[in-house]
Amino acid sequence: MSDGRGASALQQPQPQPQPALQRLRAMTASDLDAVMAIETRAYDFPWSRGNFADSINAGNVAQVLADADGALLGYFIAMPGVEEMHLLNLAVEPLLQGRGLGAVLLDAVLLAALRYGARVLWLEVRPSNPRAGALYARFGLHPVARRRDYYPALDASGNRCREDAIVMSAAVDALCRRRGVG
């Protein structure tokens, strides 16, 4: 098949289907099976089901992003503190990454930070996760410190080791202005 320009239509990139209408809502215990399915696909060292349950029970901000059919696309957990919000976990279904869903979730984190009166947003990111680091940098977060041996990891031989974390931070009002949020 030709597309009229001499190229085969079979060789043309196919448009990526976008998830149906998305809705953010509070994460509940009934979401944990779906959350764990994403978590274990997204991370080599996933949080445990207990980590998520404890976060919900502790009153942390826990939200899921679902499509129109209720299927989970991603989620985040953030811990409010005195004039600050600490993003603890954010994940998007790996098959849907690169479609702006991480930005939707980060905007929701900013809205939560505003609701709680946070002035600063904090997070940690693995140096081995440049995609996440780039997303956070595009949002306006800046590296401010390094936590040595923060994350569990595997070395090149497959042996357990530890990986540093890059601590990123920014003023919530500046992030909101930059994103047009709030």
Q: Which residues are catalytic?
A: 124, 136
Model confidence at 182, in pLDDT bands (50, 70, 90)?
Answer: confident
Residue 172: CB partners within 8 Å, gap ≥ 6?
85, 110, 113, 114, 118, 119, 120, 121
Model confidence at 12, in pLDDT bands (50, 70, 90)?
Answer: very low
Q: What separation in angstroms does the CA of 124 have from each of 7, 40, 75, 142, 150?
A: 46, 19, 16, 11, 9
Q: What is the pTM of this model?
A: 0.86
pLDDT tens digits along 20-68: 567 999 999 999 999 999 999 999 999 999 999 999 999 999 999 999 9
Model confidence at 13, in pLDDT bands (50, 70, 90)?
Answer: very low
- State phi, psi for 147 to the nearest 5 degrees: -100, 115
CATH number for the domain that contains residue 116: 3.40.630.30
10 belongs to a structural domain: no
12 belongs to a structural domain: no
119 belongs to a structural domain: yes
How many distinct structural domains can be found in the chain? Answer: 1
1 belongs to a structural domain: no
pLDDT tens digits along 92-140: 999 999 999 999 999 999 999 999 999 999 999 999 999 999 999 999 9
First-last CA distance in the chain: 49
- Per-residue pLDDT, 106: 97
Per-residue pLDDT, averaged over 159-181, amounts to: 96
8 belongs to a structural domain: no
134 belongs to a structural domain: yes
- Per-residue pLDDT, 161: 95
- Per-residue pLDDT, 164: 97
171 belongs to a structural domain: yes
123 belongs to a structural domain: yes
- Domain span at residue 32? 21-179
- Please tell me which residue, 36 or 7, carries the higher pLDDT value: 36
- DSSP letters, 97-120, are TTSSHHHHHHHHHHHHHHHTT-SE
pLDDT tens digits along 66-96: 999 999 999 999 999 999 999 999 999 999 9
- Per-residue pLDDT, 18: 52
Residue found under tokens 């047009």: 180
* Tokens representing residue 105 in the block: 């979730």
